[in-house]
Structure formats: structure tokens, C-alpha cells
């Protein structure tokens, strides 16, 4: 009996050990395959992706994005490599909710690649759970600055202070002017509940380095030191508290841009610059402070990145990497964002891809705009800055 039990125990241990070794080998193989894919030459990657697409068990290659413009890029990608794919577009928290729901359910019908905005949500809902894989194309790495590599930034948008110049209006030169009674109801931006990057902008103003700039700007404008309210730890909080009661909210930047261009002089919008390309917008009635050599002290708006990540459980790893390479190339970026002369307001993470006439390159905007800092945003949200922003926005 003892011998039988001993034999059975040996079999169980051997089976378990074999399973563990096989599991280890499987994980090791996956990691090795990933490393091989990351180090492939472009010609090798193209060949592997095309082979992957022709496999009998190849699922549909799917990209999630917050803009329908990626459909134009997908069409160009198919023309270039003969690989078909689909694009699902959704924005903001809704896109993250869809992705996390599918990933938690281990659904096979989810994205292979995703364009993701909002550094805070990317970190807390994707990266913290290892749902995404960062990939920087080897042969484009020297064209992508270190700040755009981890995680990979495909492109940036900028939201700028833009005003209606009718009746000879000249706009402001200091952001604190926008907190004064004269601008109550004359500043327009997208509803905070529908645009998380707007909340990120406001949260970033409480970062000590930016708050110090606001403190100095306050003194320059009002000719006195700032006096903080008890619930305002620094000048950033005070600005948010004084600024938001003057703001009126719209459902989308496109509608705001159109209404702003047809509205009253000296009305202000904090909106995506790219919306000025829309045919419904009367551009001659609008002035962008930063492009009018009238930058606002200490910032003329904000800039936020669009990250491009591989979804970890993809069954099309080579195609995913090839698509990212395509989007980081001049051909891919221009297929989506430079389709006509008016396509302003989108800036590639590839430093060799320049803006169009009438715009400025990325380095220009980084100097006069605030940008997202995922580490600070995590800290600020953990300390309750969102509650403060919500409170300030409710006081009209």
C-alpha cells in the first residue's frame, strides 16, 4: 500500500513538474517571440505580419481609436501591405470601459492596438494591470525623442485659448484676466464630465512648478501678492477656483469653435486647435493668442498626448507592430492627419514629421503650453483634486 501511495505521489509530482516546465517554456517562448518581433527589420516584420494575416485561424485585426481619422490610416495601411483591418472609434472613459470590460472577460473580440488619451487613465486602468505592451519601432527610434517613447506617443493635440476678434477685440495677455467679472459667461470649453483631459489640465495647474508660475503672473497682473483662500494650498488651486465660475460648457469642441466664430467679440474658447479646420468655423473671426505673438502669461493652453499601445493578449502581434510602425512613419501619419492644407493641430511623435503651413511644430507648443504629467496626476487625484475641481465648476 505504501509502495502504491509512493508511486502515485511520484506520478503526481512528475506531472506537476512537467506542467510547470511546459507552462514556463510557454511563457518563455512568448517572451522570446516578443523580443524577436521587437528586433525585426522592417522587411522581416512585413513578411511575418502578412503570413500572420493569411493564417487559417487569423482573427480580424482591430484598432480602437477616439477619432474616425484612423480609418483613413487603416485604408492606407491595407494599400501598402495588403493587410485588412477594422477601426472602432470611441472616446474618453467610454473607450477605457469597453477595453477593460473585454480584457477582464478575456474576450477574443477586442482590440489588437489602441490609441489612448489621458495619461492618468492609461496608467491606472491599463499599465497598472499589464494590459498593454509598449513598442517603439527599431528603425524609427532615433527620430522619436525619449519623452515620447515610454509609453509611445503617436501624436499630440493642443487645446488653446482662442478668442473672437470682432469689434477690434485684442484678447488677454495674462490668464488671471479670465478670472475677472468681465469674462463671466464669455469663456467656453467642453463639459468636464465628457472630457477627462480637460480635468487633467486643471489638475496640472496645481502642480507646484506651474502654481509658482501662476503666482508670479498674478503679481504681474494685479500688482500685489496673491492671497490664498483657506481651501487653496497654492496659486494653482486659487486659479481653478476663480476661473471655472466664469466658464460656460458645451458638448463638443467642434460646436464650440463654430459658435465662437459666429458669436460676440472677446468671447474665449479653450478648444482643440484642429477644430478650426472645419468648414463650419469662420476662421477670420478667431485669433489664437500664441500664434498672434501674444502668448498668455504663463501659458496659452495645454497639450495632451495620444498614446499608441499593443493590447497584450493580441493574436496578431506582428501586424500590431507593423501598424504602429506605419503610424509613426510619415506615410501613416499624413494618411490620417495631413489630408488637406487645413489639417492643423496634430503633431507626430516622430520629430522629423513637420506641421503644415499656418501651424507651428511641437517644440514651439511645448514652450507655451502645459502638458500632462502622469505621475503628478496620480498624486493629485489621490489627494482629492477632482473634488476641488468639481466644487469650483459648480459655482456659477
Kindly state the cell numbers that stand for 210: 506651474
pLDDT at 39 over 80: yes
pLDDT at 2 over 50: no
Q: Could you tell me if residue 318 is inside a domain?
A: yes
User: What is the reported pLDDT for 17?
Assistant: 34
Residue 260 and residue 377 in one domain: yes
* Rounded mean pLDDT, 251-258: 95
The CATH number of whichever domain residue 114 belongs to comes to: 3.40.190.10
The pLDDT > 70 percentage for the chain reads: 91
Q: Give the whole-angstrom CA distance, residue 73 versus residue 21.
A: 43
Residue 177 and residue 116 in one domain: no
Q: Domain tally for the chain?
A: 2
User: What is the reported pLDDT for 380?
Assistant: 96
Question: Cα–chain-centroid distance for residue 55?
Answer: 33
Residue 228 and residue 328 in one domain: no
pLDDT at 30 over 90: no
Residue 208 and residue 106 in one domain: no
pLDDT at 11 over 50: no
Q: Which residues pair with 306 in a beta bridge?
A: 117, 155
Residue 271 and residue 323 in one domain: no
Cis bond upstream, residue 298 (ω within 30): yes
Alpha carbon separation from 81 to 49, 68, 337 (Å, rounded): 9, 21, 20
Residue 42 and residue 124 in one domain: yes
Higher pLDDT, 56 or 389: 389
Residue 31 binned pLDDT confidence (cut-offs 50, 70, 90): low
Number of neighbouring beta carbons within 10 Å of residue 150:
9
Q: How many CA atoms lie within 13 A of 9 on its CB side?
A: 6
pLDDT at 218 over 80: yes
Q: Could you tell me if residue 316 is inside a domain?
A: yes
The pLDDT > 90 percentage for the chain reads: 80
Kindly report, residue by residue over 308-360, the tens digit of the pLDDT. Answer: 999 999 999 999 999 999 999 999 999 999 998 888 999 999 999 999 988 99
Q: Could you tell me if residue 339 is inside a domain?
A: yes
Q: What share of the chain is helix, strand, coil (3-state, %, to 5)?
A: 55, 15, 30
pLDDT at 184 over 60: yes
Per the structure, the complete domain to which residue 145 belongs is given by: 27-155+305-348
pTM of the entire predicted model? 0.88
Q: Could you tell me if residue 361 is inside a domain?
A: no
Q: Could you tell me if residue 224 is inside a domain?
A: yes
Kindly report, residue by residue over 134-183, the tens digit of the pLDDT. Answer: 999 999 999 999 999 999 999 999 999 999 999 888 899 999 999 999 99
Residue 178 and residue 114 in one domain: no
User: What is the reported pLDDT for 206?
Assistant: 98
- Smallest Cα–Cα separation from 373: which of 207, 237, 238? 207
Residue 334 and residue 230 in one domain: no
Kindly report, residue by residue over 98-126, the tens digit of the pLDDT. Answer: 999 999 998 878 999 999 999 999 999 99
Residue 232 and residue 196 in one domain: yes
Residue 214 and residue 284 in one domain: yes
- Smallest Cα–Cα separation from 308: which of 76, 140, 109? 140
Q: Could you tell me if residue 137 is inside a domain?
A: yes
Q: Could you tell me if residue 22 is inside a domain?
A: no
Residue 258 and residue 376 in one domain: yes
Element housing 73 (H / E): helix 70-81
Q: Which residues pair with 62 in a beta bridge?
A: 86
Element housing 368 (H / E): helix 362-368
User: What is the reported pLDDT for 24?
Assistant: 44
* Rounded mean pLDDT, 55-79: 95
Q: Could you tell me if residue 357 is inside a domain?
A: no
Residue 288 and residue 161 in one domain: yes
Amino acid at each position: 500500500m505504501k509502495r502504491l501511495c509512493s508511486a502515485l505521489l511520484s506520478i503526481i509530482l512528475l506531472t506537476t513538474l512537467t506542467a510547470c516546465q511546459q507552462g514556463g517554456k510557454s511563457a518563455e517562448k512568448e517572451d522570446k517571440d516578443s523580443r524577436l518581433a521587437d528586433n525585426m527589420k522592417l522587411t522581416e516584420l512585413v513578411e511575418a505580419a502578412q503570413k500572420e494575416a493569411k493564417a487559417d485561424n487569423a482573427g480580424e485585426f482591430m484598432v480602437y481609436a477616439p477619432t474616425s481619422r484612423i480609418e483613413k490610416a487603416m485604408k492606407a495601411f491595407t494599400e501598402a501591405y495588403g493587410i485588412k483591418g477594422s477601426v472602432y472609434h470611441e472616446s474618453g472613459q467610454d473607450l477605457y470601459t469597453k477595453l477593460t470590460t473585454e480584457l477582464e472577460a478575456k474576450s477574443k473580440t477586442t482590440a489588437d492596438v489602441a490609441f489612448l488619451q489621458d495619461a492618468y487613465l492609461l496608467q491606472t486602468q491599463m499599465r497598472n494591470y499589464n494590459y498593454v505592451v509598449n513598442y517603439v519601432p527599431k528603425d524609427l527610434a532615433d527620430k522619436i525623442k525619449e519623452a515620447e517613447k515610454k509609453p509611445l506617443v503617436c501624436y499630440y493635440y493642443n487645446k488653446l485659448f482662442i478668442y473672437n476678434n470682432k469689434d477690434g477685440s485684442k484678447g488677454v495677455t495674462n490668464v488671471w484676466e479670465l478670472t475677472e467679472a468681465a469674462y463671466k459667461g464669455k469663456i467656453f470649453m467642453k463639459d468636464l464630465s465628457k472630457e477627462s483631459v480637460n480635468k487633467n489640465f486643471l489638475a496640472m495647474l496645481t502642480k507646484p512648478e506651474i502654481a509658482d508660475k501662476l503666482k508670479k503672473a498674478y503679481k504681474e497682473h494685479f500688482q500685489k501678492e496673491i492671497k490664498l483662500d483657506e481651501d487653496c494650498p497654492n496659486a494653482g488651486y486659487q486659479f481653478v477656483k476663480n476661473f471655472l465660475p466664469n466658464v460656460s460648457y458645451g458638448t463638443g469642441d467642434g460646436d464650440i469653435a463654430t459658435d465662437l466664430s459666429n458669436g460676440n467679440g472677446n468671447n474665449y474658447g479653450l478648444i482643440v486647435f484642429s477644430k478650426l479646420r472645419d468648414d463650419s468655423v469662420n476662421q477670420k473671426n478667431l485669433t489664437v493668442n500664441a500664434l498672434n505673438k501674444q502668448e498668455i502669461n504663463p501659458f496659452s493652453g495645454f497639450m495632451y498626448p495620444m498614446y499608441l499601445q499593443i493590447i497584450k493578449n493580441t493574436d496578431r502581434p506582428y501586424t500590431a507592430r507593423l501598424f504602429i510602425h506605419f503610424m509613426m512613419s510619415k506615410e501613416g501619419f499624413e494618411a490620417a492627419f495631413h489630408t488637406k492644407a487645413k489639417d492643423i493641430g496634430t503633431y507626430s511623435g516622430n520629430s522629423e514629421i513637420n506641421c503644415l503651413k499656418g501651424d507651428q511644430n511641437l517644440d514651439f507648443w511645448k514652450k507655451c503650453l502645459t502638458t500632462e504629467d502622469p505621475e503628478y496626476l496620480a498624486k493629485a487625484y489621490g489627494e482629492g483634486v477632482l473634488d476641488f475641481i468639481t466644487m469650483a465648476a459648480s459655482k456659477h
